[in-house]
Structure 1
Amino acid sequence: MKAIQFTGKGEARLADLTVGDLPPGHALVQVKAAGLCHTDIDVLHARYGDGAFPLVPGHEYAGEVRAVAEDVTGLRTGDRVAVDPNLPCGACPSCRKGLSNLCRDLKAYGVSHNGGFAEYSIVRADHLHGIGDMPYHIAALAEPLACVVNGLDSAGLRNGARMPEHALVIGAGPIGLLLALSLKAESTQNVAVADINEDRLAFAAELGLGGIVSGAAELTARRRSYDFVADATGIASVAEGMIDLLADGGTALFFGVCAPDARIAVSPFEIFRRQLKLLGSHSLNRSIPDALDILRKDGGSMARLVSHQLTLEEILPFFTRKPTDPATMKVQFAAP
């Protein structure tokens, strides 16, 4: 089969690989759509995970079941599925508390195990979720959206919770827009996104979201105005600036992935005096079914985030070269 393979730190190639035998408890999935995430770039450069080379990347994917092991029940050839990529140990303290995304030995398809940038992928059957007739390119958004769901759960902003009146997401990339659209879907009255790229802000406006240019006087003037602020940039200085944008009693969500050695300055007195909440969110926590439910009800806004559907050959350069086109959002491998 054709696949993208990371052969070493910073080295990516198009390869011909054997599919391999089907272990007990697993299914063979013909990949129909797989999304590119910045985490894939970090995996390539050994900044995320254990540097398990050689490796087929890709943790955002969906496809069709082509074969199942003899011991697998409840799953049949021909089923259309989305993949939950996280592989927790199930036994550590975090797993026992229901925080499988914080497993001390967390593995994942596309990080430690071969993932979705290939024609076929062998996946544990209990990590496959039926998508019905949902188009594959939309189903492949379930993984990043599941990360958003985990973030909103962390902030207590789902399932009938009292929602913030004014919310701001900093960063109008695909994950930031998924977060903003999810806040809107949960009935937040006013949702805005901030970004330095005015083309992205124009696209956000097409999706029904407010837009503010990062660093502009307009944003500075809204100091202490937002009940909820989330950073989706992973830039430490931007994350630090969230606190000044929070209204008293507000919540800041550290959602973007800052460098591990990055540090920010925080005033404990201000957090105390203004009763602020600072929260983190990592990955997804068995939230693919919730994400699929949101995608079914979305009405097509989130699907518009898929800007490119490419072959494996065409998508390979995106691993080593940063896109310069501001219209580039979610780039996906799409099987012919």
Structure 2
Amino acid sequence: MKAIQFVEKGKAVLADIPVGAIPPGHALIRVKAAGLCHTDIDVLHARYGAGAFPLVPGHEFAGEVLEVGDGVTCVRAGSRVAVDPNLPCGTCPACEKGLTNLCRDLKAYGVSHNGGFSEFSIVNAGHLHDIGDMPYDLAALAEPLACVLNGLGAAGITGKASAPSQALIFGAGPIGLLLGLALKSAGSDTVTFADINEDRLAFASGLGFTPVRSGSEELLSRRQSFDLVADATGIPSVVEGMLDLVADGGTGLVFGVCAPETRVSVSPFQIFRRQLKLVGSHSLNRNIPQALSVLAGDRARMSQLVTHRLPLAEMVPYFLTKPSDPATMKVQYVDG
């Protein structure tokens, strides 16, 4: 089969590799859509995980079940499914608490196991979720949206009663926009996006969000105005300054991925005196079904986040070079 393969650190190629046998409890799927994530780039450059090469990347994918292995009853040939890529151990203290995303030995399709940037993929059947008639490219957004929903859960946002009235998100890229759409789905009145990229702000505005330029007087005048402020940039200076914009009793969500060695300064007194919450979020936690439900409720806007639908061979450059088009959002491999 054709697959994108990371053959060594920094080297991605289109390769012919064998499909392999289907182990018991697993299913063979024809990949119909797979989304590119910055994590894939980090995996390529051995900045995420152990750098287990060769590897087929791709942890955001959906497809059609072609064949199932022994003992599989939850899906059958013809099932249309989205994949939960995380492979927790199930026995460490975090797993026993239900925090499988924090597993001490967490593995994942596309990171430690071959993933979705291929014509076919073999996946543990327990990690497949029915998508009904949902388009495959939309269903492939379930994984990043599940990460977003896990973050909102960490911030205590589980529905309309807990949705922040006024929210601010730094970073109008694909993951930030998913965060904004999830907030609107939860019941937030106004979601504002801050970015320095005018094309991305225009894109956010087209989705019904309020755009503002990062660092502008307009934004600085909104100090202590937002019930939730989330960073989706991974820029340390943004994380450091965002609590100044959180309203009394509000929450700051660290969602973007800063470099591990990064340190920022915050005021413990400010957190104490204004009763602020500062929370983090990592990956998804068995919440693909919840993500699929949110996607189904906002198909039109969610699907707009996919700006590039490409055949497998045309995906390779996107792993190696940053897109030149500033309006690029989610790039996907789509079969047919």
Question: Hey, what does 2:179 align to over in structure 1?
Answer: 179
SS of structure 1 residue aligned to 2:28: strand
Which segments of 5 or more consecutive residues in structure 1 lack a partner in the other structure? none
- Aligned-partner Cα distance in 2 for 1:57–1:251: 34
Question: Hey, what does 2:320 align to over in structure 1?
Answer: 320
Question: Hey, what does 1:164 align to over in structure 2?
Answer: 164
Question: Hey, what does 1:335 align to over in structure 2?
Answer: 335
TM-score for both structures, normalised by structure 1: 0.99
Matches within 5 A, 1:220-259: 220-259=220-259
Question: Hey, what does 1:39 align to over in structure 2?
Answer: 39
Matches within 5 A, 1:214-293: 214-293=214-293
Question: Hey, what does 2:101 align to over in structure 1?
Answer: 101
Q: Structure 1 residue 143 and structure 2 residue 143: aligned?
A: yes
- Aligned-partner Cα distance in 2 for 1:100–1:225: 34
- Equivalent pair of 2:138/2:299 in contact (CA under 8 Å): no
Question: Hey, what does 1:204 align to over in structure 2?
Answer: 204
SS of structure 2 residue aligned to 1:301: helix
- Aligned-partner Cα distance in 1 for 2:89–2:110: 17
State the Cα deviation string for residues 185-240 of structure 1 (Å, max 9, x = none).
11111111111011111111111111111111111111111110000001111111
Residue 241 of structure 1 and its aligned partner are, at CA, apart by: 1.2
- Aligned-partner Cα distance in 2 for 1:267–1:68: 55
- Aligned-partner Cα distance in 2 for 1:323–1:185: 30
Matches within 5 A, 1:71-150: 71-150=71-150
Residue 74 of structure 1 and its aligned partner are, at CA, apart by: 2.3
Aligned letter for 2:15? A
- Equivalent pair of 2:33/2:333 in contact (CA under 8 Å): yes
Moved over 3 A (4+): none
Residue 162 of structure 1 and its aligned partner are, at CA, apart by: 2.4
- Aligned-partner Cα distance in 2 for 1:234–1:302: 23
Aligned letter for 1:77? A
Residue 163 of structure 1 and its aligned partner are, at CA, apart by: 1.9
Aligned letter for 1:297? G
Residue 102 of structure 1 and its aligned partner are, at CA, apart by: 0.2
SS of structure 1 residue aligned to 2:300: coil
Aligned letter for 2:332? Q
Aligned letter for 2:65? V
- Equivalent pair of 2:138/2:295 in contact (CA under 8 Å): yes
TM-score for both structures, normalised by structure 2: 0.99
- Aligned-partner Cα distance in 1 for 2:45–2:242: 29
Aligned letter for 2:31? V
Question: Hey, what does 1:193 align to over in structure 2?
Answer: 193
SS of structure 2 residue aligned to 1:242: helix
SS of structure 2 residue aligned to 1:18: coil
- Equivalent pair of 2:74/2:126 in contact (CA under 8 Å): no
Aligned letter for 1:259? A
Aligned letter for 1:100? T
- Aligned-partner Cα distance in 1 for 2:294–2:66: 27
SS of structure 1 residue aligned to 2:252: strand
- Aligned-partner Cα distance in 2 for 1:18–1:154: 41
State the Cα deviation string for residues 131-176 of structure 1 (Å, max 9, x = none).
0110000000000000011011111111343221210010000000
- Equivalent pair of 2:160/2:188 in contact (CA under 8 Å): no
Question: Hey, what does 1:60 align to over in structure 2?
Answer: 60
- Aligned-partner Cα distance in 2 for 1:220–1:83: 41
Of residues 279-288 and 220-229 in structure 1, the stretch that sits farther from structure 2 once superposed is 220-229
Of residues 152-161 and 279-288 in structure 1, the stretch that sits farther from structure 2 once superposed is 152-161
Aligned letter for 2:157? L
Of residues 151-160 and 122-131 in structure 1, the stretch that sits farther from structure 2 once superposed is 151-160
- Aligned-partner Cα distance in 1 for 2:160–2:96: 26
- Aligned-partner Cα distance in 2 for 1:72–1:162: 39
Residue 273 of structure 1 and its aligned partner are, at CA, apart by: 0.7
**Number of residues of Structure 1 aligned to a counterpart in Structure 2:** 336
SS of structure 2 residue aligned to 1:308: strand
Aligned letter for 2:215? G
SS of structure 2 residue aligned to 1:300: helix
